[in-house]
Structures are given as structure tokens and as C-alpha cells.
Structure 1
Amino acid sequence: MADPPVPLLLFLLLLLLIPLAAAAASSADLAALLALKAAVTHDPTGALAAWSSSASAASHCLWRGVTCHPSSTAVAAIDLRGASLTGALPASLTLPPRLRRLDLAGNNFSGAVPAALLASPTLRSLDLSFNRLSGALEIPPANSSSSSSAPPPCAALAHLRLAGNLLVGGIPSGIAQCRSLRVLDLSRNVLEGDVPPALGRLAELRVLDVSRNSLTDRVPAELAGCRDLAVLVLTNLTSSPEEQPEFNAFVGELPQEVLGIPALQVVWAPGANLDGRLPDDRNGTCGLCALNLGQNYIAGGVPQWLGQCQDLTFLDLSSNKLEGLMPAELSFGCFTYINISGNSLSGPLLSSSDSKCSSHLGGDDIVMQYYDELVVNALIGNPFGSVLGIPNIALHDFSNNGFGGALPSITLRLDGNYSYGLRLNSNVFNTTLSAGFFGFCKGATGVAVNLSSNHLSESLDTLSSCVALQSFDASYNKLSGSIPAGIGGLHLLRSLVLSANNLTGHIPEQLGDLATLEVLDLSRNSLTGDIPNLHHPADCGSFIGNPLLHQCLGPNASVSPTEEISSGKGAKKWVGQMTRSKRKRAKISNLRTKVVVTFTDAPPELTYENLILATSNFSIQNLIGNGGFGATYKAELAPGFLVAVKRLAMERFQGLQQFDAEIRTLGRIRHRNLVTLIGYHLGESDTFLIYNFLSGGNLETFIHEMGSRKVSWTEVHKIAVDVAQALAFLHYSCTPRIIHRDIKPSNILLDEERNAYLSDFGLARLIEVTQTHATTDVAGTFGYVAPEYATTCRVSDKADVYSFGVVLLELMSGKRSLDPSFAQFGNGFTIVSWGRMLTQEGKTNEFFSSGLRESAQKDRLSEMLKIALSCTSESVSARPPMRQVSAKLKQLGNDQ
């Protein structure tokens, strides 16, 4: 019998080898899966219960979270998102040979990002977001010994998501070798340094998100090399105290080359510390859908080319330094959100009559996902939120500028059911309320309008034409005539504020038919006659300043005409006053000095009389603190309801307007590590602020007691992080930004669980702008004041950084800034000098309190001391910004 031909032998051999190769591959997949399971130390939901070495061949394809390639047992994807798994990912984590996607997002994995994941030649999508991964991100270098044509590590990777971890160090420029990257999300980490210019070599990149880190330096113009870039997120502010704050602070302007990328659809950089000007020209077509550059320092004018961006539906340029005219090319009716408030823009406010509104998002789903999430978060906390809500809302905010002339005519061209909010307040519009102005009411399911603080005149007759009106504020104008009875037909109306105008005549009884009306303010007009029976607005104080009105006949009719009523919302002053007598008006004028104004929901016990009674008329027996801004007293207004009352040491004011503007700014500020300003009282001879009471005392007492008890690392670290976060919030997240100017232990309060709260923020400026005589005195306290502030009175955030560094040194050592033990070293020797001396002598261990030496790792203490000494550098430029200080301190607590 003849031998079989060679091709046949090869075919038979191949048939024998295929099963062997498949078995080997299957074995490698199984080993890799079990190695991943071995790294898991806690699996509360049993997600990996079926992952077992005793499973039958190919059964791993049926395991939870495992997907195999079609017609194969090779693992293609592992998806364990949100499985509540805990463990440390090993540095040499083994992957299935043909794995294309790995999703471990939303678990509790720790350790560094395994290098093997970023060196995989097959992995296309890696999502490790929202875990507890730490350390520096390292990209494996290309193998120089291999052929130059060989692909570099991570060459196949298209999606890299590492958001919401604890990664430190800089963004590695080696990411540029991941040349197939389309999505790079490094947000919500502790990364510092710059955005590497090398990222501009990622020609296929569609999304770049580096927000909520501690990045600095300039935004590189080289990013313009990412010609497919559609979403660029440099910063992302949040109103939620639970979210990681934004600490990115860039230098300079947003490069024209970057803003001109043809594919750009979403640019998000609010509060990014950007300055410069927006480019006057833009080459090529504009595909922008969302542009958020609010709360920066951008000057110049609003460029006309924005009117050519037909897909633009979200524009935020608020709180910048813009000036000049608003380009008429912009069609406001196409915007679901436009905010240019808080600038110096002027002239008429014109809207293009061009009806072309594209308002669509071209491109892939990832762009739509980012657009939707960013825009919805931006709408949280909108000024009309209590009336209009968030879903399906359009907001246009032109407030706090210098717009004048006629009110704009805005015709909305939006699809679907939507409500609409319009803010034109604090401008210089000097026209009348025409019927054409309310054209935006057509098609809207609800409308809220604020026209307060302008120069509007004549009547309100056209107001009733807007049947969808829910909130209307035209206070502080020059409106005249009577209140039209037709307002009674606005059955959706919840808030009507017409105070401080020239309205005359009777209050129409039809207002009593408005079942939804909650807020009514007709004060400071010239209305006459009786007040109708109003079942819903309950405060007679709404009518104060109308001297010819008869006695209040509303639900509060039993209230004495001279009794003040505290309101818990909106910082409104409510004082019952319904009399014609000039003598009684004078009496009420005096009583107005006894009003308590509140910024939050407050119980009825919070009144002037109760505060005086609870403090025993500010008796020393109730004194709990004394500082440069005044004395603080404890007041128990009801069982379990305690407040702290700071009686300000203030001379005569320049005027109430300055005080009112400053105190209202402070009343809006909320942070979990700031003492809450509940309200205030402003009298002719007495002024005090009301804060939430904290029972743990202040940090000064805490430090003093460190000599008699051992304070642990956990306590010290938590307090340091709390204060740093509060100060970083004041410097970077407030508008306008606040410099404290008196950081010291007595201004840091504690609760029973040793959570720290910064107090007296904003008071230095409050005192400064409301004094009759200008002062150049240093607001801080000796021993905590930065050298340049003490000698030149130059106010800067770096002066706060210095003071914080001194407090941190005290907190670590248990010694005071000017401790008596330093006398042996001569005059002028402070805790800063002591820390530097011990560091130079290599005796840093002697600096720390005994409790810290026993409870903390030496390297952590050394690093905290290093941070404190950098904060107290004599060179202003050498001191780190509070964003970086906060991030570094927070990182010291990881993996405790």
C-alpha cells in the first residue's frame, strides 16, 4: 500500500492539533479567570460563586460576567460592573489570551492599575472606574528589542476609563502610545501636574475627561492634534457635598487651536481659572452643542462666530469679565440653556430672527451620554428650581449686566413639553411691559420671570396674557398704575413679587382666587383700601410700606400689628404693619431693627426677642468665644435647638446696601466643613450673625489638651483634611472667591465626632466694605499671618495657605504658634522656625506629639510635615494652592 500524500498528512496532523490548541487556550482562560477570583477577598452577592476549577470544559462561558467569542470557548469579555467585589488587583494580573473587554467598574478593588492590563495586545476596552485604586498610573514602555514594526503596548486599547479612584502623580505622556484610544476618562482622581502635550498625538481620540483632579499649568495647544475630539471636559463643578470637589486650576487661556477643533461638540471648563479672551474668529464650521466656560476670568467680548454654531443649545459664559455688546447673530430661542450673567455686557439684548435651529447631537452615543449628564447636573440648583423643577426646562439668564433699552423679544423654538425660566434682573432696561415681550409663553407649560432691579415703567396690564406664568418678580422698578384684576386668571401662579414700585389703587380681590399662590410681596408701593382675604400667602408683612392700606385681614390677622414674623426662606424680612398713623409708622420703623433675617428653613423660635432672652442679653455667662470680629454666645431657643450668635464689633456702616450684598453672598454658601450661616440681625446699634451650634468646642482647645491626652493619627488627619477642603472650597468654588484672612485654631470648630468646620469666613471683607472709614489693618492674628500680608497688607489666597500651614504644624505638635518653649531660641522664633530647624537637623521625630508618634507611620508624619512647611514658605509662589494641599492630605489617609 502506497504512502499517503504529504498534503493529506498535514491535514490529518492539523485535525489532531486543533483540539489540543483549543484545550490549551481554554485552560489559559480558566486559569486567568480563577486568578482574578483569587484576588477577591469579599464577594457579598456571590457573583463569583460558580467560578470553580472543578467546572466542566467550556462551562466558564456560562459563568456570571463572562462572555466568550462566537463559536469558541475563548473569553472575549469580563463584565463585573457593580458586583460589590473587594480585593487588591495583583500587579501581574493574568488576562485571558483573547480578552477584548474588561469592566470592573463600581467595585472596591484596591492597589495600583496592573501593568498587564495596559500592556495587553488584545484589550480594547478597560473600565476600572469608581474603585479604590491608588498609586501612579504607569504605561509600559514599548519593547525596544522588538521589531520597529511591532505595535506598542496598549496599541489596541480604544476605551480607558479610570475615573473615581485615588490615582496620584501626573498623567503619563506614555498614554500617547495607545494610538487607538477613543475615550480617555481620568476624572475624579488626585492627579497633578499638567495635561501632557503628547496627548495631541491621539488622532482618534473622541473623549478626554480630566476633571476633578489637581491639574495645573496651561491647557496644551497640542491637543488640537486630536482632530476627532468631540468632548473635552477640563473641569466639572458640583453642587453636591458628597461629590469629589474640583481642584483643577489651569493657567492662561483656552488655546484658540483647541477651541477650533472641527469635531468639537462639548467643551466643559467652568471654574477652571482660565483667563485671556475668546478668539474673534473661528475657521471652518462650528459643531459645538455645549460650551461651558462660566466662572472664569475671560475678558473681551462675546464672539460673533457663536451665532454660526447652529447646534449650540447650551452656553454658559457667566461670572467672567466679558464686556461690550451681545452679538445679534445668537438666536436665543434655540437655546435650552444660556447663562451670561455676572459680566459687564451692555447695550440692547437682541435675538436673531433666524428660525434655523438644528439642536441635534451628531455623532456617537458617547457624546450624547456626556452631553445629557453634564447638562442635567448643571441644571441642579437652578434659580427657579423650586417652581419649575429640573426635567424639561429651558433657562435663559442675562442678569447682573448692563443691558438696557427695550426688553428682548424671545420666541422659543423648542420641541416637546417644557417649562421656561428667564432672568433679566439687575440690568438697566427702561421700557414698558409690552404684549410682545411675553411671546415666549406660547407653548410653554410653565414660566418663571425675574425682571427685578431695572427701570421698567408704566403698567402691568399685559401680565395676564402669560397664562403659563408660575413665578414673576418685577420688584425695584418704576411700574405704576393699578394691579390688573386679570392676574386672577393666572391659575398656575405660585409667586408674585411687585415690591418697591409706584403701584397705586386697590389690591384686586381676584388674587384670593389663586389657589396655587404661595408668595405674594406688594410691599413698598402706594396701594390703598382693604387687603382682600388671601387664603394662601400667609404673611401680612408682604404689604409693608403701603401706608394707606387697612388692617391685614389674612390668616395672620390675629398677629399684633407691631409684631415681627421671621421667615425661613429667601432671606425676606416680614414685619406686620397695617396702619395709617405717622406716629405708629415711626414706631414700626424702630421695630424693623429687631427683625431676624434667615437663609434656611428656621423654626418659629428664631426671633429677635428669643435670641436676646436666650443669651441673657449677651451676658458673659453665655460667652463661648471672643475674636477679632466680635464675641460669640450660645443660645438655646428651645429644648435641643441651639445656635451660636456672633455679635459683630462693627462701627457705623457706609450703607445697608453693601452689608446686604455681602451677607447674602455668605448666606448662600454651603459646604460640609463650613459653619452654616442661618441668619442675621442688622440694627442701628447692634448687629449679630446666627450660626449652627457645634458642641465639640474649637481646635484651640483641642490642641491645648493634646498635652494631657494622646491624640491619634486618625483624629489629626481627619481634622486637617476637613479644614483643607473647606478652605479650598472658599478659594475655588465660591463666586466671588473668598479669602478668609484669619485662619487660626479658634476659628475652627468641632462637633462631637471630631468633624471640623471653618468659621468666620467672609467676615474680613464684610467688615471692610461696611465701615465708614477705610482701614488698612491686617485682619489676621499675629503668629498666623503670612509675612507679605503683615508687611504690605496684600490680600491673596496664598496668605490663607500660610495660615493653614501654621495650624497644621500646631495640630501635629500640640504646641502653639508662639509657644513659650520657643523663648530659648530668641525673639521671633515660631513654630514654623522650629519645624524647619528640626527638619534641617534630621530630628523631625521630635516635632510630633507622643500620640502621633505611637499611632502613625513615620513616612506619613514626615509627608504631612513636608506639606505644612511648604505651605509656610516665605516665598509666595513656592506655596502650593489649597487644591493641591487638600488632595495631598487626603491621599495620606488612603490604605490606612
Structure 2
Amino acid sequence: MGKCKNLTFLDLSSNVLEGYLPFQWLFPCMVYFNISRNMLTGVLPRFGKESCHSIMVSYGQAPIFLDVEDIQNAYSNIPVWGYQMSTIFGSLVDENLVFIHDFSWNRFIGPIPSFSIGGDFLATNHKPSYKLFLNNNALNGSLPGELVSNCNDLQTFSVNLSTNQISGGIYPGLLLDCLQLKEFEAAHNQISGSIGPAFGNLKMLQRLDLRGNRLSGSLPGQLGMLKDLKWILLGGNNLTGEIPSQLGQLTSLIVLDLSRNGLTGSIPENLTNATNLEIVLLNHNRLVGEIPSSFSTLSSLTELDVSFNNLSGHIPQLQHLSNCDFFKGNQYLHPCLDPYSAPPDRLPDLLEVHKEYRQSKLKSFVIAMVASASFILFILLVMVLVLILGRRKISRLTSLRRKVVVTFADAPTEVNYDNVVRATGNFSIRNLIGTGGFGSTYKAELVPGFLVAVKRLSIGRFQGLQQFDAEIKTLGRIRHKNLVTLIGYHVGETEMFLIYNFLSGGNLETFIHDRSGKNVQWPVIHKIALHIAQALAYLHYSCVPRIVHRDIKPSNILLDEELNAYLSDFGLARLLEVSETHATTDVAGTFGYVAPEYATTCRVSDKADVYSFGVVLLELMSGKKSLDPSFSEYGNGFNIVAWAKLLIKERRSSELFSPELWEVGPKENLLGMLKLASTCTVESISIRPSMRQVLLYWEFIVLRQYWDGTNGLVFHGLIIVSTQNKGCAHSSLFPVVSPLLALH
């Protein structure tokens, strides 16, 4: 592995690796290196100043490396990475290169070495950022005077040293030599000493986490100079002195944790000038005085914990309900549930109350009970009357709504409830043209010559849809030449249906398994596949929010008389998801077409549609079903994807195509289509292309006929792909399709 000079992305996380980390690996030259959550031990190697090659992660410009979107998708379905990966890769969408080295959750010991990244990257126009994770190990010794050797040449630097055995103080030089420090996390160690004023120089600092250490002394007022600081987490130390009033200047501050220290004095009145505060933890200190009433003006404050101090006075009326446990342990603080009652030490002595007062109080109680009973009886009578009248009104409204059909633009007047029911023969089996997981579809001729397809939804699957109208209206606005047009819909207590334009060519399932020889030709196959890809790319990239179909299969692809393809049932999985009674963890796909990561984790992405699209391509080329009976000879569970991989591996690719299709050809284009289908059905979603990449590759298949062996790909006099650098193809027209170009 140490000889792989061009290795740029290495992820060995979440395994059971043991042993030591090889010193020969070129860590500084790896843009992404992750060995977290293993059982590796030993000391960490010291990073040298390595000479590295050029940029290693593609931002849509360099076709020979992984695209950021692929790296994100690679981890989107791993639960333990959810928040962390979205945080890490959230910064990768801009033009700045981000190095990530993750050694966390292992058993590394010894002192913390000095780290660095390859010097070649620091000479570029865009300074890189660096994220270093060393948390949850057994690293010991004191903090080094220098964590990263070229820190001030970076855009930003983030480090996590939490949950180790680090001791000693924080050297001012560590901070002054790294002014680009953005996140400094070293919680749950044994760090001692004070928080010096040098922290005030870290103008880019956003997160400071030193919880659970042995810090002492007072908090420096210079912290108030850090305008970008969002998290101050200093709970569980031995800090003393007063809370600096300068913290009120931190307009970006979200979380302030000073709990479990020895802080004294009062809570600064101007602390509430930090108007973005959401969580303030001041519990288990020695604070005195009143809680500033200005806390009631903080609209984002959801948690204010001042328990176990010596506070007194009233509890502010916070804009969000607060737990009374957050105020207990303060002897002179007014009760939580009655902020205007007298303090506890001044409550009257009940033994001194006069007998006459007790009798008067008893009479008042009896009178109050009688009055309350009368009032309750009156309210009950009113409720009964309202209920009776309300039921009659709802019944009238429901009877009217039963026959309402909501239509979208350009829908003819013939689209109404009575016409639909009549034209379907009251949903007679004679007019049934298809069934699926969402319901049954019927053919209906509303007026002579005007045909529609009516999808009668299964009431059992769509219940309690409070957002149904909004969701279905969003689908009704979607228009694309290769999507079935939604004309209107009806929602009633016992009936729900969608109305689409009718397509006379049937569905792709019938075409594939009952097609005539004249249609088994490359132009037809190519056109159908291209139309499906264009429809999916539109759903994934042009709809806001993007729509993932989740149930791509031949029966959901319709054809007209000229064999143009149209995708149907898009958005129905989303309608199912917003149901109040339906479990959203169900897989809304069809066995044989569902991507492996979707079937096992129920976590969906647009790459799941890409997988299903690849299965449809294999069916289109072979004429076989996804779970064809002919696969039984290979054993249970063997499907068309496994069959295609077997034929490709054994160099028998031609056997996959139907004889009529292979005989007519062109064979080169057919093999290109097979390679595309094979890439679409890989298990790893980081390698699996997006629909945008699929479309670009499709253009490549079409334009291949214009290939010029000297200059490259020439189309209308324009050199699109030129061959250089020892035969490696470089493209400015479709760089993101490089993983697919590698197949040729």
C-alpha cells in the first residue's frame, strides 16, 4: 500500500482491523484517509513534508478522480456516519479542497505527533482546509506546541482530540501559530491550567469544546472578541470567577455550557445580547442574584438550566416551555409553577391561621364546587348541540366532496366524477388494464375519442393524508415529454383515484415479453431507454424537491403508438410517505428491481432509481424477466443482474442479448449499453453513476460513430475528446462520466 503514490481516497473504517499503522503510507498526500472504528494500536506516525501530485478530488473538473457527490452517496446509508458525514462533506461543495484524516475510535497510544498535508497543495490558488480526527483513543502526554506544521497556510483547521488521556496545559504558541483554527475539541481529557487570553486571537474559531477536563482560573474576556464563535463548551471543569460580560457580544453564539464549575457572581444582564442562544447551561455553580428577565426576549432559547446555584427572585417567562428541574436547587428562587408567589422562606405558618378563617374557607369551597358543577353541565350541553349540528354540516360537505374531481391546467370539462365512474363501468373488471402496489388502473372513454387512465388508489395504503392535496398538486404541476401527465384527482371517504392521459401502446413489460421481431432493433431499444433516462434525470435534478421514483420497472413505463416511452407512478411513494398511519420504513419498490442498499436499510437515494434503471436495460436487451424462470438452474435468488455479471465474467456477453437484437446489431452499441447497465447495477453506490452521468454516457454511445482515431471524438468539426497523456481520455464536455469511459 505504501507504494501507491497516487492513492487519494482510502476508507477502512468500521472494520475489526488490528495491529499497527504502517509508517510507509503517504498520509499527507491523501485527500481522504479514514481508519476510524477499528482496533488499531501503537503510536501514530509523524507526518513528513511529502511531495504530492495534483488535485485528487474532482469538483466537476477533473474526470480521473471521484466526484464529491459520489463520496457523499457512499456514506449516505451508513447509520453511524449520518451527521458526521453531512458535516464533513457539507464544506466540499465549494471550490476549496478539504483534507480529512480520521484516526478516531481506535486504541492508539503515545504522544500526539505533528501533522501536515502535502506541500504541493499549499501552492495552489485555493488554500485547502484540514479536518483531523484523533478522538476516542488512548493518546497521552501533553498537547504539542504545534499540531499541524503548515497551519497558517490553510484555509481552516479543525481538530478533535476528545476522550483521550491528554494532560498538561494549553500552550499559547499552539494557538498563536494556528490562527486558522476553526474547531478545537479536546473534551474528556486531563488538561489543566487556565484558558488564556491567547484564545482571543482565534478570529475564525467557531467551536470550542473543553468539557470534562481540569481547567481552572477565570474565563478571559477576550472570548467576546470571537464573532464567529457558535459553541462554548466548558462544563465539568474547575473554573472560578465571574461569567465575563463580554460573552454578550457573541452574536453567533448558539450553545453556552459553563455547568459544573465553581463560577461565582451574578449572571450578566447583557448575556442576552447574544440573541441566537438556544442552550444555556449554568447549573452546578455558585451563582447568586436574579436571573435576568431579558432571557424572556430570546426567541430561540429552548433550554436554560440554572439549577443548583444560589439564585433568587422570579423565573423569567421564557418563550419556550422549560423543565422545572432546570431551576431546582436554588433555595431563594420563586417556585417554578408560580413565578409571582412569595419566596419559600416567607410562606405563612398554617398553624397560626384562625379557626374563623378555616370555616369561611370551607364555605367558599362549597360555593365554588356548586358553581363549577353548574358551569361544567352547561358546557356539556353546548358541546352536545355543537356536535349534533357539526355532524349534519360535515355530512353535507362530505356528500358534496364525494363527487369533486380536482383538475389541473388544460383539463377538459368532461373530467368530472360522474363521467369517470360511468366510463369505467363503476370500476368494472372489463375496463381493468393494470394492477400494482398502489392500486388498479382502468381505461375510461369520457367522451367519444377522449381516453384517460384512472388509477384507483388502495384506500388501505393511503389513510390520513393531511398533506395529500399539497403533494398531489405538486405532482400535477410536473410536465415533461417523457412523464405521464396527471390530469386530475379525487379524494373521498371511500374513494381515491388519479386521472392520467391514456397511452395506447401498452407498457414496456408487454413490449419486452411479447414483442414482434420488427421492433427488436437498436433504434427502438435505444429510444425507449433514452426516454426513461431523460424522465428520471428530470425528476432527480429539475424538480424541487427532487423526486425519487423508488419503483422503476417495465410495467410502470408506458408506450404510445410510436413507441415513445413515458414514466408513470412517479411521486406515489412520496404520497405514501406523508401518510399519518403508514410506516415509512416499508420498501416502496418491487422485488427484483430494488437496489440492495434500499432493500436492506430502507434508506433511499436517487442511486436506487439508477439501479432499477439498469435492471430494466437488462430486460430490454435480453427479453428476459428480472426473476426469469430460466435462472432457476443457478439456484434460488439468482436474478438478471447476477446472470449478466456471470456472462460478462465468462466473456459470453453476446448470450445476454435476444437473438434478433444481436443479429441486427450494431454490436458495439449493444455492448456499450450492456456495460452501462452493468455499471448501473453495481452494489456500491459510490461507483454507481447518477442519472446525469448516465445521460452523458448515452451521448457518448451515440457520438462514437464520429470517432476519429487521430484527434479523438469529432462531431461537426468540434474535437470533443482528445487523446493525450499516454492514452488517457480527457474531456471538457462530459467530465463526470469518466467512471463509465473507463469501461472502454
TM over 0.5: no
Q: Give 1 or 2 for the bigger CA radius of gyration.
A: 2
Which structure carries more helix by proportion? Answer: 2
Larger RCO (CA under 8 A, 6+ residues apart):
2
Q: What TM-score comes out, normalization by structure 2 length?
A: 0.44
